[in-house]
Amino acid sequence: MSTTGPGRSALASHRTTQADNHVIVLFGATGDLAARKLLPGFFELTQVGLMPSDYRVIGTSPIEMTSEEFVDHTADVVGRFGRVPAAGPAWDEFVSRLSYVVSTSDDASDLAAAVSAAEDEIGGQPGLLHYLSIPPFAMSDIVGALGASGLAADGAKVILEKPFGTDVDSAKALNELLHSVFAEEQIYRIDHFLGKEDVQNILAIRFSNRLFEPIWSAEHIAEIQIDVPETLGVENRAKFYDSTGAFRDMVVTHLFQALGFVTMEPPAAFSAEALGTEKQRVLDALQPLDPSRVVRGQYDGYRRSPDVADDSDTETMVALEARIDNARWDGTPIHLRTGKRLPVGRRVITLSLHRPPLHMFPRDVGAHGDKIVFEIGEPGSIRVEFQSKEPGPSMVLGGAHMDFQYKSNFDPTRELEAYERLLHDALLGDRTLFNQAASIERLWEVGAPLLAAPPPVQPYAQGTWGPAAVDELVAPHSWQVTRMVEESAG
């Protein structure tokens, strides 16, 4: 049965909470992330009525620009990357609240004055939210400047982009830096993967349905896969990517965090504290990676990219096996894969169930274990694969499936894009979908053996699924995304 609603205007009533008045400081306001996600995201939240009743957005960076020029820049990027046109009453309201201040990493005095003026305009005690869309090398100076200027006081919040370090020591150093100025509850480490409706729906599907929760354990689940192939190469990120690689860029920051959602114990409530506790508990049980169960690949032509060394050993794809040492998941392999220049771009989480005994059926019926497949998209889908009798006079089993499509069951216009959802949560002070210091440090500990002794990269042709060892890693299972692509092509 469809539950389609009346449209975008209903979104504000669908979410009953609205954030208190805020001053928002957007560091790196002229950069790529601000252009593609943040400025369009704030305007989208204005469009659907989810911004505070009164707010100001102060853009800042070292680039010389007036507030009028910043408004023109915002109109340009919202027009190119936004979901709704930069026009109408909502647009007029939004741009009336924009301003721009030049600041440097070691001098926030003009910025502090602008924040104070914005607070006076709003009146009362508005909240203060900083978004640090900045390169890692600027983090220390800017965090220090925020502390020195008083812009971190009185419960001010700060959102940080990855990378959250590059290993255990650097992650701890970053957390020490942040904690020298901000309390942990003021810090919002953003992971857009966790902001996607489909990832959150894993929690809803599992914990609100008796159809699924009783089978969510090693007793019934033979394997878990989290698979995020990409068709893009490194493009203009080559310099960053060559010092990072697929494991640091994607696995620690995104795939492991999603794994925590999939495998956690039932939390006491859907709250930051309860979910954080259970996610941390399962991440603590995640075993350090075995480098012999990791495949690193590098696509042909990568070393010809600008800013990439001729002998680079950086992986552009990685597949690995993880294990969780607790009663629920003992013996269940967890396979993760991500990489560049692969045949398709997909985000798929698959739970494969054990084969049934089949004592009452002929041995040649070709039955396989059932699967629950979460396709992460905007909007996404959920597929349940199972066995059914094929039509005909004989008892022959064949594969069948049931599909849940968001756009067929709910009004897709109610959906917030991942960054929009997380920006709104941060304004509300809701840290449920943000990463905590302890989980970041733990995941670098899990990856430490791999970083200390990485297997050599193996070449693979662009547009293929990587080295042959990638398929050997998951045997006797197979990669769900690969099978889906092959079936759709056939």
Active site (catalytic) residues: 254
With beta carbons less than 8 A apart as the criterion, state whether 459 and 298 touch: yes
Find residue 228's DSSP bridge partners.
Answer: 338
The pair of three-digit structure tokens given for residue 387, joined into one six-digit string: 């066995």
* DSSP element (H, E) containing 348: strand 348-353
> How large is the angle between the packed helices 88-95 and 39-47, nearest 10 degrees?
130
Amino acid (one-letter) located at 155 = G
Strands 22-27 and 127-132: parallel
CA–CA distance from 211 to each of 196, 206, 384, 440, 488 (Å)? 23, 8, 11, 33, 28
Query: Distance between CA 26 and CA 65 in Å, rounded?
Result: 14
Query: Half-sphere exposure of residue 315, counting CA atoms within 13 Å on the CB side?
Result: 26
- The count of other CB atoms within 10 Å of the CB of residue 66 is 11
Give Cα 179 to chain centroid, integer Å: 24
Nearest one of 281, 284, 317 to 298, comparing CA atoms: 317
Amino acid (one-letter) located at 346 = R
> At a CB cut-off of 8 Å and minimum separation 6, what does 183 contact?
none
DSSP 258-295: HHHHHHPPPPSSSSHHHHHHHHHHHHHHBPPP-GGGEE
* DSSP element (H, E) containing 91: helix 88-95
> At a CB cut-off of 8 Å and minimum separation 6, what does 254 contact?
191, 193, 228
Nearest one of 405, 229, 397 to 317, comparing CA atoms: 229
